[in-house]
Amino acid sequence: MLNDIKKLGASAWREVQHFFRRPRDAVHTVLSLCCIILSALMLWKVLVLAAGSPSPVVVVLSGSMLPAFSRGDILFLLDHGPKAAVGDIVVFKVEGRDIPIVHRVLNLHANSAGEMRLLTKGDNNNVDDRGLYASTLRSSSSCQFCLFILLFFLSL
């Protein structure tokens, strides 16, 4: 096994040497790679601006929203501001948790300060959420954006 690793390392080193023998080709390859990376970053920034959300794409991580969204579905988020209505699907983050929550609004409550709070629940959950989350907690209306082609290639 050690000999195989040595052979692999020697082969990789020969490829690196061959790559740098022609500096013009090396520079062309590096610049092409930089262009690809910068294009991907620009596309992401355009998506962020168009969606009005700092995180415009979310993957559903649990089955709490079945049958509307299955685990692994990809959601494209559009921020419609803090206005939410009963029945809307919202995506929000709770302080201290990195994973966004995708749930449906059950009820809207206004506290004494006039602040709107949402009572949410996953469609497949037995009980509603434990607390009321402020409607300003990075909530976004969402629409399903499943990438069946990507899932097809991942299943191969």
C-beta of residue 121 within 8 angstroms of C-beta of residue 128: yes
List CB contacts of 59: < 8 A, sequence separation 6 or more: 72, 73, 74, 75
User: Which residue out of 79, 123, 128, 129 is catalytically annotated?
Assistant: 129
pLDDT band at 31 (very low <50, low <70, confident <90, very high): very high
> Is 18 among the catalytic positions?
no
C-beta of residue 119 within 8 angstroms of C-beta of residue 132: yes
> Is 129 among the catalytic positions?
yes
pLDDT band at 147 (very low <50, low <70, confident <90, very high): very low
Instruction: Quote the longest CA-to-CA distance of the chain.
Output: 74
> Is 64 among the catalytic positions?
yes
Share of the chain above pLDDT 90, in %: 10
Share of the chain above pLDDT 70, in %: 83
pLDDT band at 133 (very low <50, low <70, confident <90, very high): low
CATH 2.10.109.10 residue ranges for the chain:
57-155
- What are 45-59's pLDDT values in tens digits? 998 898 888 888 888
Q: What is the pLDDT of residue 43?
A: 93
Q: Which residue has the higher pLDDT, 145 or 89?
A: 89
User: Which residue out of 53, 73, 88, 103 is catalytically annotated?
Assistant: 103
> Domain 57-155 maps to which CATH number in 2.10.109.10, 3.90.78.10, 3.90.76.10, 2.40.160.10?
2.10.109.10
| Region 129-133 average pLDDT | 57
